[in-house]
Chain A
């Protein structure tokens, strides 16, 4: 066993333990945020170092190191580092348990990294729980009634979802007799075209339901608005980007490795994802129109984006393999991740000063804080999918993958949805730039928050203007073992 293959995850766990001990030993809590950022960056460096050692399995196939998993082992620590930077101001609200906050973020990230790089059902479940349990605790971290309600809701609904997922995994094991994805693929292929196996379809439906909860797909989206509103805002950002990306990573791996052939099977779930995608994006966008709270609005918008990303899953199933659909998902996750983080970090900075998440309080923000307003506007433009931003290429890429597979009707629905979405995103931009401010008091923010904002904004513009480098990275990353 080559332990270097596990180095990114080992680093994060070690740093989580170090942070817990530091928290017990020292009084100056500022060091904790710095330590966790260093840990996350070290984990990223280890992942980059593994880039050439791909195509390896370890621990009896439990761990799969391919470019796909390494892409996510760079993605998740990057997202977590930005979230930590963005929460430095916000963390002053936590009277106690500051060390636990950072340690839990690191542990959740570890779970996500394992989730993207595991090729076996039981370890998928364990890594999912490592991620979820940390996130449940983080959601209720503010210890006020709203945050507590959000945490409890997330915990209870999440427990039901993971029970359903476990049932699906158990059925899959019962039908195929193995928990390894490659073994499942062989067993499912062996069924041939003898007709549809109802138990297998049921297992797949349960698995989609279980992961559908994580990615916030309709009809498993009802927890999103309440949890997003109640959770500490940095954790809302973390949930909407990293937890969703982890769900998509594991969905892509499970479905492209285990359930791709025979052909009728992948056609079946391709159509299922296509319908879910249409319903999800439509519901997310229409309900988002009526929101007055910006966190709830971005919650519904994140549901809509899950719908767009599912276009890629439909394309994968229809094509009978990774290819365009898979590249589209990875590119969309990267672009959406950096965009949404930018928007959320701006919101963190504003809501920390104003103690309000109402859209009406964003009126005239361009005069009160030009940097925050510009970063938030850029994020919203990119979420809309207008040119010169990362969201534009992401949408084009993933819509193209669906059109190539004959999902023209679905792409038409997606385009209509993008137009609806433009209304509520640009309404906030209008409020910030056109309307008169309610007060002249400027909205200041600390240096780490500014650094995180600038990193996100540069990322959005870089991907928007020069998408080539990221596209090449993603094409290299789409080789699954």
Chain B
């Protein structure tokens, strides 16, 4: 059935993802068993992050709710970027109609940004 055939590529994708994951887990073990890599432990290697700060104090603290405004604004522009990529790729075929559509879309998003800016949402009070 045609309808189910559409799910074939998804199944394939899942399979590849699964195999890739398994290989990255199993490969180091195999290499170790074969004696191709040697174990050289040291203090830095066993820290939580190889790069980045160790946390100070408990990590279950309440965050200031002002962060949610930044999170929202971030989300708005994140979504914008997600839409911009496929738009940029197909711009040649879409022509002026595609350009206008994206211009309107960005203008609407910018309205929200200007609104937040003018209302002082970006200032830390």
Binding site for B on A (CB under 8 A): 1, 13, 17, 20-21, 24, 177
Contact = CB atoms under 8 A, between A and B. Distances in A.
Interface string B93-120: 0000100000000001001001100110
B118 A177 contact: no
Contacts of A21: 111, 114
13 contacts: A1-B97, A13-B108, A17-B108, A17-B111, A20-B111, A20-B115, A21-B111, A21-B114, A24-B114, A24-B115, A24-B118, A24-B119, A177-B3
Given A20-B115, A21-B114, 11 more contacts: A1-B97, A13-B108, A17-B108, A17-B111, A20-B111, A21-B111, A24-B114, A24-B115, A24-B118, A24-B119, A177-B3
Interface residue tally of chain B, by bracket?
A: under 10
Prevailing SS type, chain B contact patch: helix
**Which 9 A/B pairs are nearest by Cβ-Cβ distance?**
A24-B118, A177-B3, A17-B111, A20-B115, A20-B111, A24-B115, A17-B108, A21-B111, A24-B114
Contacts of B111: 17, 20-21
Contacts of B3: 177
Interface of B: 3, 97, 108, 111, 114-115, 118-119
B45 to A, nearest CB: 46
Nearest to A20: B115
A364 B7 CA distance: 70
B101 to A, nearest CB: 10
A399 to B, nearest CB: 44
A476 to B, nearest CB: 33
Contacts, number: 13
Interface of A is mostly: helix
Nearest to B4: A177
Contacts of A20: 111, 115
Nearest to A21: B111
Contacts of B115: 20, 24
Contacts of B97: 1
A24 B118 CA distance: 7
Contacts of A1: 97
A154 to B, nearest CB: 20
Contacts of B119: 24
Contacts of A17: 108, 111
Nearest to B3: A177
Contacts of B114: 21, 24
A177 B5 CA distance: 12
A20 B109 CA distance: 13
B105 to A, nearest CB: 12
Contacts of A13: 108
A24 B110 CA distance: 14
A469 to B, nearest CB: 39
B27 to A, nearest CB: 39
Contacts of A177: 3
B119 to A, nearest CB: 8
Contacts of B108: 13, 17
Nearest to B111: A17
A122 B124 CA distance: 39
Nearest to B118: A24
Contacts of A24: 114-115, 118-119
B125 to A, nearest CB: 15
Nearest to A100: B115
Nearest to A103: B115
A21 B119 CA distance: 11
B53 to A, nearest CB: 37
Nearest to B6: A177
